[in-house]
C-alpha cells in the first residue's frame, strides 16, 4: 500500500488521473449528445414523411377539384354552344319575319286608334315607333314578358271601350 501511496503523491499521477476523468466525462457527454441528435433526426424524418403525406393528399384533392371544374366548364361550353345554335335556329324559322311584321303592325294600329285624325302622317310615325319598340323588345326583359303574356308589349293598348266597338262598315249606296 505504501507503493500506491507513493505513486499517488507523484504529480504525474495526479495529472494523469485528472486527464482520464476529464476524458471519461467528455466521452459520456458526447455519447449523450449523439443519442439526442439521433432521436431528433429520427423525429424530423418522421415529421417530414408525415408532412409529405399531407402534401400528397392535398395535391390529390386539388387535382380532383380542378379536374371536376374543368369537366363542368367543358359541359357548360357545350351547353352554351347548343343554346346558341338553338337560338339561331329558332330565329331563322320560316314565318318569323312575318310574325314580327304582324306584331309591329298590330302595335301601330293600336296606336292609331288613339291618334285617329291625320291618319297617314300619324300612321308612319306610329309605325316607326312600333318598329323601334319591337327592336328594343327583342332583347332583355320585354322579350320575356312578350313571350309569357303576348297581349302585353310595346305600345299602350287601346281602351276597352274602343276595342269592344266594331269597326265602322262602309254603307253601300244604291245609286
Interatomic CA distance for residues 120 and 152, integer angstroms: 26
Q: Tell me, what's the pLDDT at 95?
A: 74
Interatomic CA distance for residues 108 and 129, integer angstroms: 8
Helix 141-148 vs helix 119-137: angle between axes, to the nearest 10 degrees? 100
Interatomic CA distance for residues 77 and 42, integer angstroms: 52
Neighbours of 111 (CB within 10 A): 22
Domain ranges (residues) in the chain: 50-93, 94-147
Q: What is the 3-state secondary structure (H, E, C) of 111-136?
A: HHHHCCCCHHHHHHHHHHHHHHHHHH
Give the largest Cα separation in the chain, rounded: 177
Which residues fall within 8 angstroms of residue 32, CB to CB, at 6 or more apart?
A: none
Q: Tell me, what's the pLDDT at 169?
A: 45
Burial label, 134 (beta-carbon count in 10 A; 0-12, 13-18, 19+):
buried
Cell of 114: 288613339
pLDDT tens for the 175 residues of the chain, in order: 788 888 778 888 889 999 999 999 999 999 999 999 999 999 999 999 999 999 999 999 999 999 999 999 999 999 999 999 988 887 777 777 778 788 888 888 777 767 766 666 777 787 788 888 877 777 666 666 666 666 665 444 444 444 444 444 444 444 3
Cell of 64: 380532383
Amino acid at each position: 500500500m505504501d507503493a500506491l501511496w507513493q505513486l499517488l503523491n507523484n504529480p504525474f499521477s495526479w495529472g494523469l488521473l485528472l486527464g482520464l476523468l476529464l476524458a471519461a466525462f467528455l466521452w459520456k457527454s458526447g455519447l449523450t449528445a449523439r443519442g439526442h441528435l439521433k432521436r431528433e433526426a429520427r423525429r424530423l424524418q418522421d415529421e417530414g414523411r408525415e408532412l409529405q403525406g399531407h402534401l400528397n393528399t392535398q395535391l390529390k384533392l386539388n387535382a380532383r377539384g380542378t379536374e371536376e371544374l374543368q369537366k363542368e366548364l367543358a359541359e357548360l361550353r357545350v351547353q352554351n354552344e347548343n343554346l346558341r345554335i338553338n337560338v339561331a335556329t329558332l330565329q331563322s324559322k320560316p314565318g318569323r319575319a312575318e310574325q314580327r311584321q304582324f306584331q309591329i303592325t298590330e302595335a301601330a294600329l293600336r296606336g292609331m286608334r288613339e291618334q285617329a285624325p291625320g291618319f297617314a302622317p300619324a300612321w308612319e310615325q306610329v309605325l316607326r315607333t312600333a318598329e323601334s319598340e319591337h327592336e328594343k323588345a327583342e332583347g332583355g326583359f320585354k322579350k320575356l314578358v312578350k313571350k309569357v303574356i303576348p297581349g302585353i308589349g310595346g305600345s299602350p293598348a287601346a281602351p276597352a271601350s274602343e276595342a269592344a266597338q266594331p269597326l265602322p262598315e262602309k254603307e253601300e249606296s244604291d245609286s
